[in-house]
């Protein structure tokens, strides 16, 4: 098990070079699509169907693929969630969690970036498997293990630093939800890359 939240490649470092579009940006979260739409009506455009997927997001992406779907782990390990994430999860503000950041790729290209914050309380018993998912989609675990239920979907509007504004392909819109079982909850954020919802 890796200790610490380690980038898996040097290219994960936050720059505006080629891979900058694949960094999870700071995001403002809204309780509903309607609330986010008041600030950015783009959420009612072609991204909307993806923001509203209720079942496994992995399954929905797999259906959209012409040939293949895969998960690439960008980084994962024990690290401190942001204060906002800790509050959302209701865990002590400085408590470390297992944090997993991945790219969900369709037909060989990144379509979605995902960040999952998994508190220590989720990592006991069967939950220990969450540390060893590797390139197996989290959705396969959540939707096949008993007891996990998704809470309401939030809609996110991503903030970009001005020097990155000219880049195309950065995530602008995201979705997030808590998954709960009897004793714990984890937080899954999915950041849509425009290539996903602008494809014909
Ligand atoms: C939560 C799901 O799992 C997907 C897979 C993820 C992963 O492997 O880390 C992260 C976010 C998801 O979109 C899902 O399929 O609904």
- The 10s digit of each residue's pLDDT in 20-41 is 558 899 999 999 999 999 999 9
- Asked whether residue 22 is assigned to any structural domain, the reply reads no
Query: Model pTM?
Result: 0.89
Reported as half-sphere exposure (CB side, CA atoms, 13 A), residue 155 has a value of 23
Of the candidates 127, 153, 160, 159, the residue with the CA atom closest to the CA atom of residue 141: 127
- Asked whether residue 18 is assigned to any structural domain, the reply reads no
- Asked whether residue 142 is assigned to any structural domain, the reply reads yes
Of the candidates 197, 198, 175, the residue with the CA atom closest to the CA atom of residue 36: 175
How far is the C-alpha of 46 from the C-alpha of 191, rounded, in Å? 14
Structural domain harbouring 147:
27-197
- Asked whether residue 121 is assigned to any structural domain, the reply reads yes
pLDDT of residue 162: 57
- Asked whether residue 88 is assigned to any structural domain, the reply reads yes
Q: 55, 79 in Cβ contact below 8 A?
A: no
Pocket test for ligand 1, best of 69, 118, 150, 190 (most atoms within 8 A of CB): 190
Q: What value does the mean pLDDT of the chain take?
A: 89
- Asked whether residue 154 is assigned to any structural domain, the reply reads yes
Residue 60, H or E segment? helix 57-64
- CATH number of the domain that 171 lies in? 3.40.1410.10
Residue range 149-177: mean pLDDT, rounded: 83
More confident residue, 6 or 64: 64
164 pLDDT band (50/70/90 cuts)?
Answer: low
3-state secondary structure at position 128:
helix
3-state secondary structure at position 31:
coil
CA dist list (Å): 196 to 19, 51, 64, 75: 17, 12, 9, 22
Dihedral sign, Cα of residue 164, residue 157, residue 185, residue 102: negative
**pLDDT of residue 19 exceeding 60:** no
More confident residue, 155 or 21: 155
Pocket test for ligand 1, best of 136, 139, 187 (most atoms within 8 A of CB): 139
pLDDT of residue 145: 87
Residue range 80-103: mean pLDDT, rounded: 97
Structurally, the chain folds into a number of domains equal to 1
pLDDT of residue 120: 98
- Asked whether residue 3 is assigned to any structural domain, the reply reads no
Q: Which residues contact 30 (CB under 8 A, 6 or more apart)?
A: 36, 39, 154, 155, 156, 157
Q: For residue 68, give both structure tokens.
A: 């293949």
Residue range 149-162: mean pLDDT, rounded: 91
Q: For residue 61, give both structure tokens.
A: 């992406």
pLDDT of residue 68: 97
ipTM of the complex: 0.94
- In the reported structure, the alpha carbon of residue 55 is separated from the centroid of ligand 1 by a whole-number distance in angstroms of 11
- In the reported structure, the alpha carbon of residue 5 is separated from the centroid of ligand 1 by a whole-number distance in angstroms of 19
pLDDT of residue 13: 34
Task: Kindly give the number of the ligand 1 atom that is closest to the alpha carbon of 59.
Answer: 15
pLDDT of residue 41: 97
How far is the C-alpha of 1 from the C-alpha of 68, rounded, in Å? 28
- Asked whether residue 21 is assigned to any structural domain, the reply reads no
Considering the chain, what percentage of its residues have pLDDT values greater than 70? Answer: 85
pLDDT of residue 6: 59
Q: Per residue in 166-182, pLDDT tens?
A: 445 799 999 999 999 99
């Amino acid at each position: 098990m890796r200790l610490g939240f380690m980038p898996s490649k040097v290219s994960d470092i936050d720059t505006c070079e080629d891979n900058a579009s694949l960094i999870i940006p700071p995001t403002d979260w809204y309780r509903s699509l309607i609330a986010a739409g008041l600030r950015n009506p783009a959420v009612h455009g072609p991204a909307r169907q993806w923001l509203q997927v209720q079942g496994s997001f992995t399954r929905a992406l797999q259906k959209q693929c012409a040939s293949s779907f895969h998960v690439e782990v960008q980084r994962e390990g024990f690290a401190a969630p942001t204060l906002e994430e800790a509050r959302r999860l209701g865990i002590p503000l400085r408590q470390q969690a297992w944090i997993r950041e991945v790219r969900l790729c369709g037909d060989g290209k990144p379509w979605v970036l995902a960040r999952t914050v998994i508190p220590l309380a989720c990592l006991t018993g069967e939950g220990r498997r969450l540390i060893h998912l590797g390139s197996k989609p989290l959705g396969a675990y959540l939707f096949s293990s008993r007891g996990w239920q998704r809470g309401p979907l939030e809609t996110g509007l991503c903030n970009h630093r001005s020097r990155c504004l000219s880049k195309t392909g950065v995530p602008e819109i995201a979705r997030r939800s808590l998954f709960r079982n009897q004793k714990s909850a984890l937080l899954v954020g999915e950041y849509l890359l425009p290539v996903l919802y602008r494809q014909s």
